[in-house]
Structure 1
Amino acid sequence: MGVAGCGKSTVGAALAESIGAEFLDGDSLHPQSNIDKMASGTPLNDDDRAPWLAEIGSRFAASDTGLVIACSALKRSYRDIIRSGDSSVVFVHLHGTKELLAERMNARPDHFMPASLLDSQLATLEVPHADEAALVVDIAEPVEKIVNDVKAALSGSAEAAAGRFQVDLKAAPFKLDDDAIAWVESTLGSMTLEEKIGQLFINHNNDYSPEYLDGVLENYHVGGMRYRPGPSGAVQEHIRYAQSKTKIPLLIASNPEMGGAGSCDDGTFVSTHLQAGSHPDKSIARQMGQVAGVETAALGCNWAFAPIVDIHYNWRNTVISTRAFGNTPEIVVERAKEYFDGISESRTVCAMKHFPGDGLDERDQHVVTSYNTFGYEEWNRTYGHVYREMIGHGVQSIMIGHIGAPELSKHFRPGLADKDILPATLAPELLQDLLRGELGFNGLILTDASQMIGLTQVMKRKDLVPATIAAGCDMFLFFRNPDEDFQYMLDGYKSGVITEERLHDALRRILALKASLGLHTSAREELVPPVGALELIGSEAHRAIAAEVADKTITLVKDTAGNLPITPETHKRIRLYGISGGSDFTRADPLAYLDTVKEELESAGFEVHVFKTAEQREAAGETGVNFMSVISEEATGDYADKYDAAFVFANVKGFAQEAAIRIKWSTPMAAEIPWYVTEVPTVFVSLNQPNHLIDVPMVKTAIHAHAGTREAIRATIQKIQGKSEFQGTFNENVFCDSFDTRL
């Protein structure tokens, strides 16, 4: 860089040849309008220069090899535009006297930059500041000496650049003392290459047998594990065996998004994230975190893949519709902090998710790459605000979504083509420039599950596995094929995709997270609690918390016809419909909850008549039945003579299998669709998704119960009868941007 006549092209070409890099003259990237303007003797203004500088920055970002570009870059603001394209750019300022510069310019009569503009350039020049990655050399020296001096200086600059986002083990969130740091460094120094590669992986344990665990630990040396939920006793013993056999203590992860449920089969379901955001009492989120911490710690877990800090802006998005605290950054920050504080009472660290933020795109990253399309400023006001607050609050790790952010990526890499936008898991501009740089996150970064199509659709597996670590992730979530993925990661290191500096920085963060938990000082037999600790899981005290939360959060969305209350005294005979959407990946009976509903209604004194679809009746052995015959039998003029009211309980899931989730009726024009709202008072209760009014706008009474637990179902039936008040709140997403859903 430098003013005209300083020798940028000559020195740049010589430097590129010396270090085996490509050379490009930045003047060749000027649009013709700029060239014409300069040739006429008119200086360029900043509006003229901006697209030219952005193009130069994008060339660095797009280059797979070393690259040297000659460009004037006279102002700090100009250099900022270039380095926003690639933060690793180093500027070499070619400095000379005005007399020498004029002499050289006069010797180039064919150049489009006239000597008369030298004064203008010198007046504009802002010498690189001390905080910039820049060198200053004297153009009076021979070209060979300049090149050698620059090469020597660049060697030091490369080392400095490599350390730009290196972990600070003493700083938040690790805050390690000298002894813990010594353990991190000595452990790192004692590891073989294969052990280093293995630490990058979090295994998904699909088998509880000792032989399986022996194979995972001996062959792949993993840094962490997440197990398949089962009975708490089996899970705890599984974790105990794993910790007893590993060379380096393991991070044991669970998914306690709803309390203890999901971490083991008998864990306590306290609430969903949405449920914890559906009442003025913010302590609900803390209670959820407290129960989650106690129950998962009793199993031997030390790492929670929670809280979820996505913002549910798009009602069509169903992957986080129940897994986000709400639709504003303020409610998300408030409740996420409460959850974090609650779970932190146990020896547990958190991985909040899913950076850079889900909830704008309606699609599910499990089945397709999704996108956060906010611009840089809007993202900072919303998702960025959430991440800054939570990082400042002490969160220890962040899970990266397979979510692209086109406007954010282009902000840091101007000129980046649409086709080159990558999910955040593979985007260094998002992981390093944004998350590490602007947000100042010093903790551990892990990928979301690597089997998700949001990641796998982007590039070949052999490339994407090491590319995630090279981009800035520290741990890789789940093998697809252990032998293959381990080798892909190892090959990525050996080929230079993962540098030595990047590998060791990731390992220090992994070991630091373990040391922050005290795993390095705990005896192996103390890493997992005794069997007696399992008594805490699903305890009466925790179930009482769940019942209290259910009572607070069950929400009356609308009752425009004044149907409530409905009691056995006023409406004895109930026609009960169950809607499930079919079984999901858990293979559990999707309508099992309906037995609980029937039991609770009968216990309250109602007479319950359960509707059966044609498929259900055929499965029970009935013949001669089809969907048309069922419609004819169900939709008769004497419907109101047979039933006093109709209750529809919907528990529609489909997580990770569909891009979006809507009600799917059993047949065309199904008999369970609420045609009967004109015949009898009808109450629709959702036990899961908040967006069902788009499919049943005709119902005049709609309740969101949030969960299919007995506690939630019982509390809902109490409120339908008017025996307790509805206390839950809701946001505008429930009306799905449709006028008829409010009627």
Structure 2
Amino acid sequence: MTDQTLDLLRQAPFHLDEEAVAWVADTATRLEGDSRLMQLFVIGMHGPVGAWTDEIAQLRPGGVMRFFSADGAAEAGLLDRLQDEAEVPLLVSADLEGSRMSLAFGTTVPNPLALAAVNDVALTEGISRIMAEEARAVGVNWSYTPVLDINAAFRSPIVATRGYGAEIDRIEAHALTQAKAFQQAGVAACVKHWPGEGFDDRDQHLLTTVNPLSMDEWEAHFGRLYRAAIAEGVLSVMSAHIALPSFVREGESEAGLEAFRPASLSTALTTDLLRGRLGFNGLIVSDASEMAGVTSFMDVAQAKVEMLRAGCDMILFSQDVPRDLGAIKAALADGSLSRSRVDEALLRVLGLKAALGLHKAGRVPAAARLTQLGKPEAEALARAGFQRAPTLVKDVQNLFPISPDRHKRVLFVTGGIVSPIHGASMAFALPDLMRQRGFAVDVHVAGDAIPTGQYDLVLYGLGEETLLTRGRIFLDWLGLMGNFRLSMRRTWHEMPTAMVSFGYPYYLYDAPRMPAYVNAYCTSDEMQEAVLDCMMGLRPFAGQSPVDAFCGLEDARY
């Protein structure tokens, strides 16, 4: 490994000193065979804590991603044991996206769309610092955030609440603030989803999505955002399963199917555009490597080889490590994957570890670190964020504020809180919160008729934050009401009626005549309480919509 090769680690965004460069060089020289190749894998860890110590010790990956339980002490203990037994310090990653994607044993914080609705960069900085410090306390040193996607196609189920809205200025301000706060707290930021999601209304978990912008348009949107993140010193980028035909066709006008090759498998997009034209020198990690955005395009094992060849330095997840490791070794043997590409990837993996100081000895005991979780000042700041986010999109009948005196009898109509990641539908806390304040609340049973005159308020509560593998998010009247005839009935001519979305902000597309509509962005109990305060007039609806909640429909405004 030459000094010229190592020089990339002295440059942005790594900025390694000579001691750190020497550690990278010595470690790279020492690693051989499978140990060398396994540094390029991030292994996902689900389920019970005890199952993973031996597994990770045997695999010896470069990084892990833990899907956390609610037991913070057990999780910190697991990660400490893994680090103690690791041949090379581990990158420990998570999706720190807020709301239901907050750490279950830490402070629940607003998600990006809620922060965009508040539009206070100082709040975003404070919330980001809480997230990073609590993540560090449990042992996380790398987050696959912030999201640079643009909420352009309102039917997109994959951006929605994970991004900072539809306005470039707002996205740039908040996303870069989050990245800077994370990295100052010792958590590497990873901007995603390269080369940019949000203009295709499909889900790359299910197919390869397409960024349809011309290169001039792309430069004005995603080019601007990624260039700004690179200039800010972001340490990593996630190359996703998104095609950008306009760039590929610059070099080959008749590219055919190759124009629709996902970025994670594309040398043109990952190496030529991201590394070459934009000048990114940090670590590139693939998005989850067994999503259908990859597997619908090529064989799952061969895709791992193609990701490395295209310019990814790390592969996120493998359901069959021996299979995938074998494919990479075969490609090295036949020359279809160069050893120099693997060496460069390894250099950046180790460089990121050194940039985070993982090569240095010493660690505060877990018990002391965990005292950083859920501090009163953190809970107070998060609560303030929730309170400022609810957005009154419309109230054409002047329903709000509501009160037990005028709206005593309430029917709450809901499909529950839906999250494929967390399993089955979860119940809302809102009915109990309203009962505690003097309302008499019935929860509608799907299939039951809604009797005229029995209620003073019909309140629809929808709980779908950004959903993975759902394909679409929409107002499913049939599923909500449980009956063909009931799905066609509307209550607002007979009784005061309102709808609150605790997630996806676009339900007016399916209910443009809904007289009162609130976007609240997050399904957390904290947000439900904040919305109730706003509905009762105890606090103002202070949020400003970061997206077009009317979906371009003029009639939805009335």
Name the TM tier (shorter chain): over 0.9
Superposed CA deviations along residues 357-415 of structure 1, whole A, max 9, x for unmatched, are 00000001011110101111110111000000010001000001100111111123443
CA deviations over 1:151-180 (Å, ceiling 9, x no partner):
xxxxxxxx99xx9x9971111110011111
1:659 alignment partner in structure 2: 471
| Number of the residue aligned with 1:605 | 438
- Kindly state the Cα deviation for residue 341 of structure 1 after the two structures are TM-superposed: 2.4
8 Å CA contact retained: 2:167, 2:546: no
Change in CA separation of 1:303 and 1:246 when aligned onto 2, cut-off 3 Å: same
Q: Give the structure 2 partner of residue 254 of structure 1.
A: 94
Alpha-carbon shift at residue 495 of structure 1 (Å): 2.0
Contact 1:550 1:712 in 2 (8 A): yes
**Other structure's SS at 2:117 match:** coil
| SS of 1:271 mapped into structure 2 | coil
Matches of 1:191 and 1:184, distance apart in 2: 11
Q: Where does residue 531 of structure 1 map in the other structure?
A: 367
Q: How much has 1:497 moved relative to structure 2? A: 2.3
Q: Which residue of 1 aligns with 2:36?
A: 196
Instruction: Tell me by how many angstroms 1:696 deviates.
Output: 1.9
Contact 2:77 / 2:366 at 8 angstroms: preserved in 1? no
What are the residue-to-residue correspondences of 1:371-386 with 2, within 5 Å? Answer: 371-386=210-225
Q: What is the CA distance between 1:501 and its match in structure 2?
A: 1.1
Q: Structure 2: which amino acid aligns with 1:592?
A: A
Task: Write the distance in 2 (CA, Å) between the matches of 1:199 and 1:422.
Answer: 26
User: Which residue is 1:488 aligned to?
Assistant: 327
Matched, 1:328 2:167: yes
Q: Structure 1 residue 466 and structure 2 residue 305: aligned? A: yes
Residue by residue, what CA displacement relative to the aligned partner does 1:645-695 show, whole Å, maximum 9, x if unpaired?
A: 111111025722222211223334364776111111111111111011112
The answer to whether 1:361 aligns with 2:200 is yes
**1:568 aligned onto 2:380:** no
Q: Is the 8 A contact 1:653 1:661 kept in 2?
A: no
Pick from 164, 169, 178: which aligns with 2:9? Answer: 169
Q: Which residue does 1:71 correspond to in 2? A: none
Q: How far apart are 1:731 and its partner, in Å? A: 4.0
**Could you report, residue by residue, the CA deviation over 1:302-323 in whole angstroms, capped at 9, with x for unpaired residues?**
1111111111111111211111
Aligned residue for 1:735, secondary structure, equals coil
Q: Deviations over 1:448-472 (max 9, x none)?
A: 0012100111111232111100110
Q: Which has the larger radius of gyration?
A: 1
- Superposed CA offset, 1:409-460 (max 9, x none): 1123443223553100011111111101111100000000012100111111
Secondary structure (helix, strand or coil) at the match of 1:724 reads coil
* Aligned position for 2:420: 584
1:717 matched to 2:532? The reply is yes
* Higher mean C-alpha displacement, 307-316 vs 486-495: 486-495
Q: Could you tell me whether the CA contact under 8 Å between 1:368 and 1:659 is conserved in 2? A: no
- DSSP-derived class of the 1:168 partner: helix
Contact in 2 for aligned 1:267/1:295 (Cα 8 Å):
yes
**Does residue 1:244 correspond to 2:95, yes or no?**
no
Cross-structure match for 1:104: none
Aligned CA distance change for structure 1 residues 601 and 581 (closer, same or farther; 3 Å): closer
Q: Structure 2 stretches of 5 or more lacking a match? A: none
Match for residue 436 of structure 1 among 275, 278, 289: 275
State the one-letter code of the partner of 2:472. A
Structure 1 residue 599: Cα displacement: 1.6
Residue in 2 that maps onto 1:678: 493
Root mean square deviation of aligned Cα: 2.1
Instruction: Name the CA distance, whole Å, in 2 between partners of 1:279 and 1:320.
Output: 18
CA distance in 1 between partners of 2:525 and 2:103 (Å): 18
Deviation at 1:329, TM superposition (A): 1.8
- Which amino acid is 1:172 matched to? A
Moved more, 330-339 or 570-579: 570-579
Pick closer, same or farther for the CA change 1:490–1:674 going to 2, 3 Å: farther
Read off the aligned partner of 1:357 and give its amino acid letter: G
The answer (yes or no) to whether the contact 1:735–1:741 under 8 Å persists in 2 is yes
The CA deviation at 1:210 is 5.1
Moved more, 226-235 or 538-547: 538-547
2:533 aligned with 1:697: no
Equivalent residues of 2:499, 2:516 under 8 A apart: yes
Counterpart residue type for residue 266 of structure 1: F
Alignment match of 1:285 (pick from 124, 128, 133):
124
Query: SS of the counterpart of 1:316?
Result: coil
TM-aligned CA distance change 1:177 to 1:732, over 3 Å = closer
Q: Distance in 2 between matches of 1:248 and 1:582?
A: 39
Aligned with 2:56: secondary structure? helix
| 8 Å contact from structure 2 (residues 418, 463) kept in 1 | no
With normalisation by structure 1, the TM-score equals 0.72
Shift of 1:713: 1.3
Output the TM-score relative to the length of structure 2.
0.95
Partner AA of 1:605 in structure 2: G
- Judge conservation of contact 1:214–1:245 (CA < 8 Å) in 2: no
Q: Please tell me whether the aligned partners of residues 305 and 350 of structure 1 are also in contact (alpha carbons under 8 angstroms).
A: yes
